[in-house]
A = this chain, B = another copy of it.
Amino acid sequence: PRHDGRAANQLRPLKFKRGYASAAAGSVLVEWGGTIVLCTASVGTDVPPWLAGKGRGWVTAEYNMLPGSTSPRKARKPDGRSTEIQRIIGRSLRAGVDLTALGERTITVDCDVLRADGGTRTASITGGWVALRDAIASLTDETGAPAFAPTAIVGDGCPLRDTIAAVSVGLVNGEPALDLDYPEDSTAAVDMNVVATGAGELIEVQGGGEGTTFRRDQLSAMLDLAMEGLTKITATQLAA
């Protein structure tokens, strides 16, 4: 039994408020259980130096916890954990985008955690995709018309290949459990994040533990839970 009464395969409530930060091309406020993350997607006309002149675009992410999102207060300075997380967010979102179709643009997805109650990186990936979709839908060609058909997830010439969603799983009291909140995450023997497409293909699997080990069969059980949860999360993304 989990401390909040959820079943092993039960997600916390997940809500998206699209357009929350209206200056950005795409934005969404993600409320996932007690965790709140603001994801914005901004479009720039520069690409990183190594892509210059190649006709391809880039998608990158930045992740940050606001000082008051946790207790004790988190100082405003770069830390290794945030660096590691934002690299995973960026890789995950790029897996869902055809960078050649995107053209010479950089989309930066900023994920700022307003309240941290576990699962902030999976909320960032999941919400980041919603903000990214809206930013891509806002792109225009030289005539001012939409650059791509905005409603299609996978369409002719549209740089969005599929939905991208993420969820955490772990071993809590020795049992696999889906979508850990902070009390579970901080005591879990193993914590794993699974990123997948709407079609059920894996993008990134990353997990381990501090001071613990796990077996192949436990890995398999956790992946089963994750895939089940991701189906529901994808549906919520599409309905946002």
Contact = CB atoms under 8 A, between A and B. Distances in A.
A142 interface: no
Given A197-B213, A203-B213, A208-B204, A71 B24 contact: yes
B76 A86 contact: no
Nearest to A106: B73
A108 interface: yes
Contacts of A64: 76
Interface in A75-117: 76, 80-81, 83-84, 86-87, 91-92, 94-95, 99, 108, 110, 112, 114-116
B83 A66 contact: no
A195 B22 CA distance: 28
Interface residues of A, number: 65
A205 B207 contact: yes
A54 interface: no
Copies of this chain, how many? Answer: 6
Contact of A84 (B40, B42, B69, B84): B84
Given A21-B66, A80-B83, A201 B213 contact: yes
B80 A110 contact: no
Pick the most buried of A25, A36, A84: most chain B CB atoms within 10 A of its CB.
A84
A91 B213 CA distance: 11
A3 interface: no
Contacts of A62: 67, 76
Contact of A44 (B34, B73, B116): B73
A164 to B, nearest CB: 10
A70 interface: yes
Contact of A207 (B25, B71, B204, B227): B204
Contacts of A215: 201-202
Contact of A42 (B24, B67, B213): B67
Contacts of A41: 68
